[in-house]
Each structure stands twice: as structure tokens, then as C-alpha cells.
Amino acid sequence: MNASLAATRLGCRRGWIEFKQTLTNADSLVPTVIMTAAFLGVMLLTRTTTVPGTHFSLGTTMLTSVLGMSIGVNGLTSMGGLLAAEREDGTLLRAKAIPQGMTGYLVGKIVTVSLTTLIGVAGTLILGLVLFSGLAVGSATAWLTLVWVLALGLVATLPIGAILGSLFPSARSSGLMTLAVGGIVAISGVFYPITHLPHWLQWAGQVFPFYWLGLGMRSALLPTSLVAVEIGHSWRHLATFGVLAGWAVIGLAVAPWLLRRMARRESGSSVAARHEKAMLRVR
Amino acid sequence: MAEDIVLDVRDLRMRYGRNDVLNGLSFAARRGEVLALLGPNGAGKTTTIEILEGFRMRSAGQVSVLGADPALAGEAWRARIGVVLQSWRDHARWRVRELLEHVGAYYAPYPVPGLPRPWDTDELIAVVGLAEHAGRKVRRLSGGQRRRLDVAIGIVGRPEVLFLDEPTAGFDPEARREFHDLVHRLADRDEATILLTTHDLDEAEKLADRILVLVGGRIIADGSADELSRRMSTEAEVRWSRDGQRFVHSAQEPTRFVRDLFRQYGESVEDLEVRRASLEDTYMALVRQAESGQERGADAAAARRLSVVTG
């Protein structure tokens, strides 16, 4: 017990170290900056366009939706991608060779991905406040909603990301995950109100956490009048909580089992075999 | 003494599908002993070491490492084991010192009297010769430096049993010698039991108290380098000169041959040399013998008859 507590503390330290590395590393920083810049560009272009049926800026609405979406996308693809990549390069096997190393590794990953998500959200929000008008950040409830949606969003998507990461056989194939997530985001009402999609797509979009994360952030940061363009003219906080909690329960129930199975299968020769395969592809 | 046995493997078998990779290995190692698993590629060296490390399930047989079954042992057992695997490219963005310090911290809750865990980071960095590179990012290390770091991570917890899979691949001769010194130090001073795989004979001879030759999933020989070459070499080469003329003779019993030589020619025999087969000759002969036995489709019994297992 003492040792696993120590490992959790070490995991936090590990997460902090890797978070700092992410911030000072061009490979991981450049794509994030480019993505953020692209989103901001689109939002700025649509700043003067209005949300259909209102006089409110589509760009500002989009900003809040992207904020919500980015929590989910980060939680899922970063966690999944990192796990797949680090299984390939032997980081996981290393963790397995150290006492309580797996605990430390997973705690570390959760901390790193959470911190990078947080700083992404904070950065986008600050830029949004400077560049866009109309965000309703004056009330305590706004911040309260933002915090619980953010926290629940991470708890809902990190374990699912870990599950996907442990299922994909290689870092390369985890690219498929990013692609699939992109497809789901497209029907999640992030860039345009979901009510303008065909009915069946609306239903499909509402299965996944991205729609709800966007809705949650809109409910936190947009004026109350904007509720008129949402499904059922409601922010549906209870449903948001329900769906995100549902994903969290599924993830937390399945992830430990899958991670253990994945860890059990790691060995020096499996790492070497994957490396060889990857090298063959490069050549 | 039984409590001195740290590694105990009995009739270890591994089968993938219908393919038998390990066909009943049995061996043991005492505290502080250095064992080399020597054999050609595909002989089953890595599979064996991975089973002992607890990274791979076995098909059959008994395995005990520090009194526990590696397949079931927990984290406290893990803290007493050191592992250096073949290829690692992890933690590329970490700095050498930072990584060693972090990994070492996991061992702190598992102290043993007289064996402080973990190893002091700076001391360890100096021991593996990375002092100049302590602040460097892992991905900036050369192949040999990276390997030293792997070794350092493997021993940072001051393991009682250390597994090394091809530890010196990519080392230059100097690094190799420093590594050999390190292994001797770990075995002699810290009484670590060390099992290493290699296909470098020279290395096995220099490092190991005992060499296990593994071919086709069987141990075909088990003994010190000296014992192996003595056991195998039925012939020795005798060279001498007499009246300015040089002679070479292969003798089954060189001692008797030389005695006869002196009896016959007395003091006119000069430049006498008796050379036993080198370990390399022995090893090649063993491997060839075992492999040809297998090619002939010999069953397990026949292969055992051909082999020179005595232990």
C-alpha cells in the first residue's frame, strides 16, 4: 500500500516532467499550435456571421464548442496515441520491469494529458476573451459549469483513450483513431448547430461525448438566449452529466482489465518484433 | 546449500502452436554466480530469459527465481530483479540524470539491510561512464551510451538477480571491457546473480562462471569455459622442432604422446607447444553436432545421446 502510494506520487512527478517536455518540445508543440491557429482562423472568419435564427456570432459559438470538443479529442487521441507509441518504443515494458512502474506510468500519463488539455483550454479561452465578444464569463455559475464539464470530460475520455491505445497494434494504426474521431466530431455540432443535421445523424452524434462536451461549454460560456438553437431548447445538464458519466463508467470498468492484459503481453521480443516491422515499412 | 540457489529451472518447456521453442531446460544458479546463455540465433535464449524475468508465460516446467515463480510474483519480487533487454528506444526526451533518478525512486520503498536502494544517481552515472552526459537528452546519446544507460537503469535498484539480454551489442572494445568490470563488480561485491545471453564466445568466457550452450531449445552443454573445452576436445595439437625442422601432430592423448616424444628424442626436442581446442572450436563443434542431430530428424532421446550434458 505504501509502495503504491509512493508510485502514485512518482507518477505525478513523472506527469509533470513529461508535461514540461511537451511544452518545450517542437515536435509536440507545433501541431498543437497549427491546429489552434487554424481553428481560430475559421472562428475569426465567421465572427460576423450569425448563428441561424439569432443575432449571435457564429465564431463565438464555435469557440465554445471547440473548447469542449478539444477536451474530448485530447483525452482520447493523446492518451490513445501515446499509449500505442510508448508500447512500441518500449516505455511500457520499462515500466513493467520496475516495481509499481505501471502505476507510476499510468498516473503520469493521466497527469500529462490532463495538464496539456488544461493549458490548451486555458490558452484558447484567453485568446477567445481577447478576440471575441459576447462570452458570458461574468458569473460564478459559468465557471462552475466549465470546471465540472472539463473534469467529467477528462474522466469520460481518458480511460476510453487508454482502451483504444491498448487495442491498436501500433502507433501508426492509432492514426486511424484520430481519423475516426475527426469523423465523429463532424457530426457533433461543433462547427455548426447539430439541429441542422438529418435526424439520424443527430442521434448518432449524441451517442459520443464530443457533442455533450460542446454543449456543456456552450451552456457555461454563452448567453442564456442561445439555448433557443439547441435540441429541445435546453442546455440538458442532466443528460450531459448522464452521457459523460456513462462513458466514464464504461471506460473505468474496462480500461484496467485491458491495460493489464496489454501489459502482460509486453515482452522484449514483442517490442523488438514491432520495431522490426516498423523499420521494414520505413524502408 | 539449498538457500543459496537463486535461480532454479526444471524441465522448462515453451511451445508456440506446434513449434517447440524450449524442450525441457534444467539449470540452477547460486548467489553471486554469473551464468552465460550461449547459442546461435533462434536457440531460445531470449525466450528463456523472458520467462525468468516474468515477462512471458511458460508452457510447462518449474521456474523459481529468488524463491518465487516469476509468472506469479509481485512488486516486492520485482524490486529485487534487474532487467536489461535487447533494444530500447524509450524516454527519448528525458535527460539521463532525470530518468535515472526517477526510475531509482521506485525502489526506495523496498530497502534491504546492507543494501541501500536505490543506487546513488551520481555514483551510478559515474560507474557506467556517463558522467559527461548526465544532463543530455536520451535521444542525443550514441548507441553505446544508450546501452550503458540501459544497463544503469537495470541496476539502479541494486538487483539481487540481474538479467542481461545481449548487453554489449554495439559496444566498442573499451566500453566492453568497462562493462565486464562492472559485471564482475556486481557479482563479487554485491553478490548479484547474473544471467546474460550472448552469442559472443569471448564475452561468455570472460564473464561467466558457467556457460550454458543452448541449441534448438536444449541445453547441450553446461560448465565453465575450461570444462567445456576439456570435455569436448578429444584431440590436441602438438608442435615441436627437432634439428631445425618443424613438426605438427594431432594427438588423442597429448600427455602420453609428449612423454613418448621425449623418451625417443630426449633433449633434441625444442619449441614444444601443446594446444587444446579453443572455446570457439569447442562451441562450433557442439553446435554443429547438435544441429546435425536435429536435421537428421533425431528425436529427443537421440539428441540427448549426442549431446554432452552432464550437469
Q: What is the ipTM of this complex?
A: 0.86
* Count of structural domains within chain A: 1
Q: Which residue of B has its CA nearest to A266?
A: B55
Question: Do B90 and B215 fall within a single domain?
Answer: yes
Nearest CA in chain A to B72: A264
Point out which residues pair with B62 in neighbouring strands. B10
- Chain A, chain B: beta-carbon pairs less than 8 Å apart: 89
* Same-domain check for residues B202 and B282: no
Option in A104, A266, A271 nearest B87 (CB)? A271
Does residue B116 or residue A242 have the better pLDDT? A242
pLDDT (tens digit per residue) in A182-204 = 899 999 988 888 888 899 999 99
Q: With a cut of 90, say whether residue A213 has pLDDT above it.
A: yes
Residue B171: CATH number of its domain:
3.40.50.300
Interface contact A97-B89, CB threshold 8 A: no
End position of a domain, from candidates B189, B204, B227: B227
pLDDT digits (tens, 9 = 90+) for A31-57: 878 888 888 888 888 888 888 888 888
Q: Hey, is the C-beta of B83 within 8 angstroms of any chain A C-beta?
A: yes
Closest by Cβ to A17, choosing from B55, B98, B108: B98
In a mutational test of the B interface, the residue from A29, A269, A276 whose CB has the highest number of chain B CBs within 10 Å is: A269
Mutate which: B16, B22, B75, vs A, most A CBs within 10 A: B75
Q: How far is A83 from chain B (nearest CA, A)?
A: 12
Q: Which of B46, B102, B165 sits opposite A10 (nearest CB)?
A: B102
Nearest CA distance, A9 vs chain B (angstrom): 10
Q: Which residues of chain B are within 8 Å of residue A16 when distances are taken between CB atoms?
A: none
The reply to whether B264 and B220 lie within a common domain is no
B88 lies in the same domain as B107: yes
Q: Are residues B38 and B108 in the same domain?
A: yes
Number of domains in chain B: 2
Phi, psi (degrees; rounded to nearest 5) at B86: -70, -55
B309 domain-assigned: no
Residue B241 and residue B213 share a domain = no
Asked if B93's CB is within 8 angstroms of A269's CB, the reply is no
B242 and B94 housed in the same domain = no
Which stretches of chain A sit within 8 Å of chain B by CB?
A: 2-3, 6-7, 10, 13-14, 17-18, 21, 25, 86, 89-91, 93-94, 96-101, 104, 266-269, 271-272, 275
Question: Residues A96-115: pLDDT tens digits?
Answer: 999 999 999 999 999 999 99
CA distance B280 to chain A (A): 27
B65 within some domain: yes
Q: Which domain holds residue A47?
A: 2-282
Best of B14, B88, B99 to mutate (most A CBs within 10 Å, chain A): B88
pLDDT of B304: 43
| Domain identity same for B171 and B266 | no
Say if CB A158 and CB A114 are below 8 A apart.
yes
Whether A3 sits inside 8 A of B83 (CB atoms) is no
Inform me whether the C-beta atom of residue B111 falls under 8 Å from chain A C-beta atoms.
no
State pTM to two decimals: 0.85
- What is the extent of the structural domain holding B166? 2-227
B93 touches chain A (CB under 8 A): yes
Cβ contact B269:B180 at 8 Å: no
The predicted structure's pLDDT at residue B66: 95
CB contact under 8 Å between A18 and B93, yes or no, is yes
The domain boundary, picked from B227, B253, B273, lies at B227
Mean pLDDT on A135-152? 92
**Measured between alpha carbons, how far is A225 from A56 in angstroms, rounded to an integer?**
9
Residue B307 inside a domain? The answer is no
Q: What is the pLDDT of residue B68?
A: 95
- Single out the residue in B207, B227, B247 at which a domain terminates: B227
Identify whether B304 is part of a domain: no
Q: What is the pLDDT of residue B232?
A: 65
Distance from C-alpha of B174 to C-alpha of A188, rounded to nearest angstrom: 61
pLDDT, averaged per 10 consecutive residues of chain B (311 residues), comes to 82 90 94 93 90 92 95 92 86 95 95 86 93 94 88 94 88 85 89 91 89 91 84 78 89 87 90 81 80 58 42 34
* Amino acid B37: pLDDT: 94
Contacts of A85 in chain B (CB under 8 A): none
Q: Which residue has the higher pLDDT, A279 or B263?
A: B263
Residue B83 lies in a domain: yes
Q: What is the 3-state secondary structure (H, E, C) of chain B?
A: CHHHEEEEEEEEEEEECCEEEEEEEEEEEECCCEEEEECCCCCCHHHHHHHHHCCCCCCEEEEEECCECCCCCCHHHHCCEEEECCCCCCCCCCEHHHHHHHHHHCCCCCCECCECCCCCHHHHHHHCCCHHHCCCEHHHCCHHHHHHHHHHHHHCCCCCEEEEECCCCCCCHHHHHHHHHHHHHHHHCCCCEEEEEECCHHHHHHHCCEEEEEECCEEEEEECHHHHHHHHCCCEEEEEEECCEEEEEEECCHHHHHHHHHHHHHHHEEEEEEECCCHHHHHHHHHHHHHHHHHCCCCHHHHHHHCCCCC
Task: Give the residue on A whose Cα is nearest the Cα of B109.
Answer: A3
Task: State how far the Cα of A168 lies from the Cα of A84, in Å rounded to an integer.
Answer: 7
Nearest by CB to residue A90, choosing from B76, B90, B98, is B90
